[in-house]
Amino acid sequence: MSYKHILVPVDDSPISYAAIEHAEQLAKSFDSHVTVMSVLSVDPMVGVDFYKVMPSITEYVLAAEKNAQARLNDIQQTLIQHGISTDIKIVHDVPTATGILNIADELNVDLIVMGSHGRTGFKKFILGSVAQEVLGQCPIPVLIVKSQISKSE
């Protein structure tokens, strides 16, 4: 089995960076291309009449995009410096799992490497599980990372 194109969805959590580390090791082993992505989820204020006139909300949405772009640029530069061919993508206005699945399909990736916070019980029920949703709907392999790689590995 060979993975020529790996998709890595990230947010600003430490577990996302652990997923990046795993994807980097796999990419080096298989000479894979990596696409790193973030989803700016559906804005709960879309459709609210005062949305466009609320500067604080508009500023929040713009700041979220700016932060995601900066994070993706940093990750891309690091992977490129480590010899990994890398692209980045930001997806807007869809639920996170949907955005991940859409990009995986659009890019025809071979593997998704993503972090999972490992929530259980009530927290999982309330907060949902993006990883679980992707696993349940994705026709390609999905590697779920739950912790960082040990420096001795």
CA dist 53 and 90 (Å) reads 25
Residue 106's CATH number: 3.40.50.620
DSSP letter at 30 equals H
Range of the domain at 98: 5-145
The predicted model scores a pTM of: 0.83
Q: Would you place residue 59 in the very low, low, confident or very high pLDDT band (cuts 50, 70, 90)?
A: confident
For the chain, the domain total comes to: 1
Q: Would you place residue 13 in the very low, low, confident or very high pLDDT band (cuts 50, 70, 90)?
A: confident
Please report whether residue 151 resides in a domain.
no
- CA–chain centroid gap for 95, Å, is 12
**Res 78: pLDDT:** 97
Please report whether residue 150 resides in a domain.
no
Please report whether residue 153 resides in a domain.
no
Establish how many alpha carbons lie within 13 A of residue 128's alpha carbon, considering only the half-sphere containing its beta carbon: 7
